[in-house]
Amino acid sequence: MAPGAGIAFLITGAGTSVGAISGMLLIARWRIVALVIATLLVTAIATGRLAGLWL
């Protein structure tokens, strides 16, 4: 596995699990949860790409 892919998995792993998403839905509205998930995914992709270039 490439280092960038590993970093992307580490970033998104805990935040996109079914338990974490259902827990967030109990606390916040679905739009906020969707924003958090989208932010996690975009950050993971960007970090994975940058780590691939750097490492």
**What's the pLDDT score for residue 40?**
92
The span from the CA of 50 to the CA of 47, in Å, is: 5
**What's the pLDDT score for residue 11?**
86
For the stretch 13-43, what's the b/e string if a residue is b when 16 or more beta carbons lie within 10 angstroms of its beta carbon? eebeeeebeeebeeeeeeeebeebbeebeee
**What's the pLDDT score for residue 15?**
82
What six digits make up the tokens of 32?
Answer: 């906020």
Tokens 């606390």 map to which residue? 27
**Could you read off the pLDDT tens digit of each residue along the chain, which spans 55 residues?**
888 888 888 888 888 889 999 999 999 999 999 999 999 999 999 999 999 888 7
**What's the pLDDT score for residue 16?**
85
Domain boundaries, the chain: 29-55
